[in-house]
Chain A
Amino acid sequence: MAVTGAILVLYLIAHMYGNLKIFSGQEAFDGYAHSLRELGYPMLPENGLLWILRVVLLASVLIHIYAAVALWARARRARPAAQRYKVNKRVARSYASYTMRYGGVLIALFVIFHILHLTTNHIAPGGRSDSPYERLVNGFQPEFWYVTLFYVLSVIMVGLHLRHGIWSALATLGANMSRRQGTLNAIALGISLIVTVGFLLPPLAVTFGLVS
């Protein structure tokens, strides 16, 4: 859970960096997207490193989901429905930790939609295009407010997922010590805020006409 989560967080940060290229214009954005296909070339065949990354990411996602389902099933077994508390009160748990399971499902559904939308372009609100820049600009026009809304909600859910996930991964990997607990939580909060804002800026900039 922790290791695959860490891989996915590192990927998200790289992905966010790429997205922010939108503010450098169409040429920079499309050029960056194209350069991803040539990463490692000519050492590796064209698209080689991209496919290696895709396989690593897919494996991470699948292992992450498997671990999550196993933890969920164990929790269900450890406190079956008949043994639920009649009155239950949250004492310390954060809202972020509360959203981990259903938020994870939402994120998984979003990722599928996201790939169909902006990677393969099978779903193309506002028209298909070979330019990643145009796909993005077309997809987040004000008339497709529902696409933007789903995107915004999903990214906020990703932020909450990271807020608890990064802290939890660090604790699982043994990094937590009493005097460090505040620092680890601050790191988790910091990264999740940066990632949330970094992913929200490009589509909102399109919707509000700052990028066209």
Chain B
Amino acid sequence: MTDQDTHTTPQPHDDARDDRDGRRISGVDIELRDVVKKYPGQKAPAVQSLSLTVPAGEVVMFIGPSGCGKTTSLKMINRLIEPTSGTITIGGEDVRGRDADELRRTIGYVIQGGSLFPHMTVADNIAVVPKLLKWSKQEIAARTEELLDLVGLDPARYRDRYPRELSGGQQQRVGVARGLAADPPVVLMDEPFGAVDPITRQRLQDEMLGIQRELGKTIVCVTHDIDEAIKLGDRILIFSEGAHIEQYDTPENILAAPANDFVADFVGAGSTLKQLSLSRVNELRMGEWTTARQGDDAADAVRRAEAARQDCVVVLDERGRPVAWPWLRTLRRQQRIDVPRRDELVTLDRRATLNDALDTMLSSSHAAAIVTGDKDEYLGVVDFESVTQHIRAQEAAAAEATEAGGATEAGEAAGTGEARP
């Protein structure tokens, strides 16, 4: 392990801490103090005295109307834009105390669509920062492998491809891998999932949550999508023009108690519906469903399904992953179960939100959705009934909490972030 110790790359794992829930944190605090950005020739400053703290290991979503200064604020953290005045510290260290290029090598940066360099292979794209940091070839190769695995791309298959040989979702995954390459404690994201289709976006968001759970980085992410902010953010910062903070709080509190009309308007109508983005599928009670393996006796499966009063069977492959969801009338024509893999079989990750779950159910002919776990293995089935049950339970719990005073939530919020400069 000697060469591990001698190279100069940051090793945030060494001082990784655990937070209250026992989750590992490798990120550090970001603090902005009275930061102003004024462009020459403009009357009003783009960013008007912004002060905020991003706690280590949290995901903070910057959101606001276009031109509100959210992207400017983000880019001032890695000095792509130099602040006119004020201080920004990362892990207690003033960002202006270091060379801007060196600083940026220690901060992850993920951009819309991935912004991969088209003339470099996937591996070369991921290796950009490690190369700048002069890691050894072996270290870079090992790290590339590790990151491709982390973002769910088979290294052997994708390492040597060029970006145009990848789908939009895959490009974005590589973009995330590039941002994480040198294991930076802080990652900045600028509308990372804005350029992909809704289904891919949902999947990428779920994966990002999984990765974040594992790594515990400090992430600042700009978005224009309030649902994305609610889903991904530990905390949401709502800006109005001039990067004025309208509210900086947890998604739960912003939905339940918008600070003013601006926030209420911005969050929009149907906040009950938006609450659906706060709950995950694995919180639901999953229904028992008849399952069978490829090659099993078809008649037996049909019998079991009929006994359970169900009209279809979930067919799994040898590794327990759902492949198809055929109706009984299909199986009755077969001796042994032999159903083709259905590519359009849409499954739900257990980390998906209830919002995503409802969406999937509505478009499914079964009015229900298959839930899968980490390696795509089958976990169960959820339907509308399980969602409504969950909401009723939540409402009951909320009503109880209000009667008890509801002071706990407010107290927690005040302790961690500051709402206004």
The answer to whether A and B belong to the same complex is no
Residues on A close to B: CB < 8 A?
Answer: none
Residues on B close to A: CB < 8 A?
Answer: none
